[in-house]
Amino acid sequence: MFKNRLIALILLIAGLLTGYFAVQVSETKFPYKFGLDIAGGTHLIYRADTSEVDSAEISDSMSALRDVIEKRTNLFGVTEPLIQTEVGSSPNGGQKEHRLIVELPGVTDISQAIEMIGQTPLLEFKLAREISTGSDSEQEPVFTFIETGISGRVIEKAQLQFNSTTGEPAVLLSFNSEGKELFAKITSENVGQILTIFLDNQIISSPVIRESIRDGKAQISGNFTPQEAKTLVRDINYGALPLPIELISTQSIGASIGVETLNKGVRVALYGLLAVMIFLIFWYRLPGFVASVSLLIYVSLILSIFKLVPITLTSAGIAGFILSIGMAVDANVLIFERLKEELRDERDTDSAIREGFARAWLSIRDSNISSIITAIILFWFGTSLVEGFALTFGLGVIVSMFTAITVTRSFLLAISPKKETPFKKILFGSGLPSRGKESFKN
């Protein structure tokens, strides 16, 4: 009994702490992340011109375009930009039209966003010089970068090749005549130094100069996978955007609209939580009250996860969270009905609780696994709107299994009396009939 009550006390304290963290902890250090429909921002739609691209390469070209634009949006300081591609029907006919969707939460300067997204990527080669960090050997080295004049303008192409002996991937660079002279000068004067490659001011590779290279052809090799080498080739080759793009739609979503959406979502969540708790207490009495406390712990825990991961909350994501509240109660309903059956068989309360949870577990497990599989499928194949719903719903189902099986069970065991003490009326009220010993016979 003491052990059960100690566990319940620890869980209760943990629930209070997570609740405090979810509601009161500084928003500057652990803020909730909100999507475009709540935080406001900019929504842009581009049409990609794939007329000059081979049909077999369109998918790779669109992926490369998305990656380049995604790197650029980081310059805005946007924590959760959404960059995705889609295929739709052209308004001029039934031909397919490839589009790029760019959503930038919190960005209100549309003109700046359009200018930066549409500009040519900047590919640069810079020498890395280590700055002395003092006597502390554990301190991370600090580098300064020196301009070399080598850019994407002087590179003819990059291509992927594999070592015929070891099979290791490598990247082969070819320079034009101007680049050949520049590269020969830089490599001959800086053997043993790091020549860092930047794309849009972000480091994509940091190879070491092993020798003087004067023929305009260089090989980058090292411990990278074929996919990493392929990505590096792609990034170096795109001295311009992989595909021409045309802006066809812009939309600015004000923060006031987002605040209204958030407030409505919070109100609906509170109303739903309150309605579920009233139902539990009215129908199941004391176990219903215990389940309500467990439900509050569930809400605190899932909100804390939203903060810590962090998870971007959209209006659809909030809807998934609200639905998961109802799913969290489903397990308790199964457990309590099993518990009633055990008490009708004249079991003592402690044994009835343990047996009721054990028998309800299989049904709880199967129903929740099916819900989790559904959430995974929606997240994997759905659009961004559906992904937000699937993520919060799936996480909610997983956490609800823990609170129903662990938290509710621990609380009920903590308040259950000694085995020889009847407890039925306190648990479910006076309406719980006993299963009689009489029987009908022919």
- pLDDT tens series, the chain, 442 aa: 677 778 888 888 888 888 888 877 556 677 777 777 777 778 888 888 888 777 877 887 788 788 777 776 765 555 567 788 888 766 665 567 888 888 887 777 778 777 767 666 678 899 998 876 555 555 677 888 999 888 877 888 888 888 888 888 989 999 988 889 999 999 999 999 999 988 777 888 889 999 999 998 999 887 778 888 888 887 777 655 667 788 888 887 776 556 777 787 788 888 888 888 888 888 888 888 888 888 888 888 888 888 887 777 877 888 888 888 877 777 878 888 887 777 777 667 777 778 878 888 888 888 888 889 988 888 887 666 677 788 888 888 888 888 878 888 888 878 776 554 455 555 555 445 455 444 445 4
β-bridge partners, 143: 130
The pLDDT, as a whole number, for residue 366 is: 85
pTM of the shown model? 0.59
Looking at the chain, the number of H-run helices and the number of E-run strands are 12, 13
The pLDDT, as a whole number, for residue 420 is: 47
Answer for the pair 357, 409: CB distance below 8 angstroms, yes or no. Answer: yes
**Spatial strand order in the sheet of 142-151:** 142-151, 123-131, 194-199, 202-205
Q: How long is the chain?
A: 442
- State how far the Cα of 358 lies from the Cα of 360, in Å rounded to an integer: 6
Neighbour-count burial of 392, counting CB atoms closer than 10 A to its CB (0-12 exposed, 13-18 middle, 19+ buried): buried
Place of tokens 């308004």: 91
Q: Give me the domains of the chain, ranges plus CATH numbers.
A: 2-35+254-428 (1.20.1640.10), 41-120+243-250 (3.30.70.3220), 123-237 (3.30.1360.200)
Residue 273: C-alpha distances to residues 13, 41, 101, 276, 327 (Å): 21, 30, 35, 5, 11
Sign of dihedral through CA atoms 427, 429, 430, 431? negative
Answer for the pair 41, 103: CB distance below 8 angstroms, yes or no. Answer: yes
Enter the DSSP assignment of 248.
Answer: E
The pLDDT, as a whole number, for residue 135 is: 54
Answer for the pair 236, 171: CB distance below 8 angstroms, yes or no. Answer: yes
- State how far the Cα of 397 lies from the Cα of 113, in Å rounded to an integer: 38
Answer for the pair 296, 15: CB distance below 8 angstroms, yes or no. Answer: yes
Q: Give the tokens for residue 2.
A: 């003491």
The pLDDT, as a whole number, for residue 67 is: 77
- State how far the Cα of 236 lies from the Cα of 244, in Å rounded to an integer: 17
The pLDDT, as a whole number, for residue 137 is: 56
Answer for the pair 318, 273: CB distance below 8 angstroms, yes or no. Answer: no
Would you tell me how many other CB atoms lie within 10 Å of the CB of residue 196? 19
The pLDDT, as a whole number, for residue 186 is: 92
- State how far the Cα of 313 lies from the Cα of 307, in Å rounded to an integer: 10
Pairing relationship of beta strands 245-253 and 41-48 according to DSSP bridges: antiparallel
Would you tell me how many other CB atoms lie within 10 Å of the CB of residue 370? 11
The pLDDT, as a whole number, for residue 442 is: 47
